[in-house]
Amino acid sequence: MIIETVFTPIEAIAGGALIGLSAVVLMWSVGRIAGISGIVAGAILESGDERYWRLIFLGGLFLGALIAAVTSGALSGVTPVANTPVLIVAGLLVGIGTRMGSGCTSGHGVCGISRFSLRSVVATCVFMASGVATVFVIRHLLGEGV
C-alpha cells in the first residue's frame, strides 16, 4: 500500500487560522484555554454552566469536522486501518497520555506556546518527537504504509 501525502498550503493556513481564532474566542468569551483533553474531562466531570460551554464547544468541533468532511468528499474511499476495538483502545491510550502529559497538542502546542509556557514547549517537542519516531518505526522498520 502506498500512502500519498498531498501538500495543501491554502487549506492548511485556513485551518490553522480557524484553530487560532477558536482559541482566541474561547479565551475571550469564557476565559479558558482551548485544550481539548481538559475540555472533554470537564464535560464529563463538571456540571452547570461549566459543563454547558464545554459540550457546546465539543459539539461544534464534531459538527464542523462532519460538515467539512461531507462537503469536501474527504471521506470517500477512506477505510479504517484497524478494527473498532483496536481504535477504541488506541483512543483510550491517547486520553491516558494526555492526562499524564497535563494536556494535549491543542492545549500545549497552540495555547501554551503562545503564552510562552516552557512546560508547553517541552511537551510539544515530546509530542512531535514521539510522532516522528512512530512514523519512522511504522514506515521504515516495519515497512507498513510504504
Place of cell 491543542: 106
Sign of CA dihedral 66, 39, 107, 33: positive
Half-sphere exposure of 111 (CA within 13 A, CB side): 22
In the predicted structure, residue 55 carries a pLDDT above the cut 90: yes
Q: What are 69's three cell numbers?
A: 468532511
DSSP string, 79-124: --SS-HHHHHHHHHHHHHHHHHTTS-HIIIIIIIHHTT-HHHHHHH
* pLDDT given for residue 142 in this prediction: 83
* pLDDT given for residue 54 in this prediction: 93
pLDDT band per the 50, 70, 90 thresholds, residue 138:
confident
In the predicted structure, residue 41 carries a pLDDT above the cut 90: no
Instruction: For 113-136, write each residue's pLDDT tens digit.
Output: 888 999 999 989 998 998 899 889
Counting runs of H as helices and runs of E as strands, what totals does the chain give? 7, 0
Q: Is 145 helix (H, G, I), strand (E, B) or coil?
A: coil
The pLDDT of 43-51, averaged and rounded, is 90
Distance CA 38, CA 36 (A): 5
Q: Is 32 helix (H, G, I), strand (E, B) or coil?
A: coil
Question: Against a cut of 0.95, is the pTM above it?
Answer: no
